[in-house]
Amino acid sequence: MEATHQRFTSILEWALAVGFIAALLVVGSLAVREFRTVSALPAVSAAGSSNAPAAVPASATSVGVPPRAISIPMLLLSDGNEVRVGETISAIVARLGQHAIVGKQAIERAVHGQRVTRFYDHAGTNFVLVFEPFEANAEPRVAAIYLQ
């Protein structure tokens, strides 16, 4: 009887050890899978920027924006100029000049006026600026910047 009890106890100990090791492998596998999975980055909001007013973001389907363009909150150009979301259209024209505008601009209806999409080539960088008034009867401001 004692021999049977020892065998049963030994088998039970081995079964518990195998179960523990199997559970440890499952948990480890799940942890490794979670670390290897890439999650999407959250959208960048320019409304929190200190020099940009609280803005209505440009529509994701602005006319003329290439499908693979990347939206950014600020653009640093190689000649030292920069473009930020929230800047007025007159400031951009004064800084970059009319000669930087290439192609035709697209105009569409927006909440507070017209949304203007312009294509630029300045200092060897191709980009798209979407201008939109953020409030009624206001000067259009940069609502979105896209790199091509």
Contact 105, 117 (CB under 8 A): yes
- Read off the pLDDT of each residue in 68-80 and give the average, rounded to a whole number: 88
The distance between the two most distant Cα atoms of the chain, rounded to a whole number of Å, is 100
Compute CA distances 98 → 92, 115, 123, whole Å: 9, 18, 13
At position 106, the amino acid (one-letter code) is A
Distance separating alpha carbons of residues 23 and 68, to the nearest angstrom: 44
Query: What percent of the chain is modeled with pLDDT above 70?
Result: 80
Q: What is the pLDDT of residue 26?
A: 92
pLDDT tens digits, residue range 105-130?
888 888 888 899 999 998 888 899 99
**What pairs with residue 116 in β-bridges?**
107, 131
Statement: the pTM of the whole predicted model exceeds 0.85:
no
48 confidence band (pLDDT: 50, 70, 90): very low
What are the extents of the domains in the chain? 1-38, 58-147
Q: What is the pLDDT of residue 63?
A: 66
Query: What percent of the chain is modeled with pLDDT above 90?
Result: 33
Query: Tokens 């150009």 appear where?
Result: 77
Distance separating alpha carbons of residues 118 and 110, to the nearest angstrom: 15
**Selection from 109, 118, 124 nearest residue 142 by Cα:** 118
Radius of gyration of the chain measured on its C-alpha atoms: 29
Distance separating alpha carbons of residues 145 and 21, to the nearest angstrom: 53
Q: What is the pLDDT of residue 42?
A: 57
pLDDT tens digits, residue range 34-46?
777 655 555 554 4
* Beta carbons within 8 Å of 99's beta carbon, 6+ residues apart: none
137 confidence band (pLDDT: 50, 70, 90): confident
Mean pLDDT of the chain: 81
Helices (H), 37-120: 89-96
**What pairs with residue 117 in β-bridges?**
106, 130
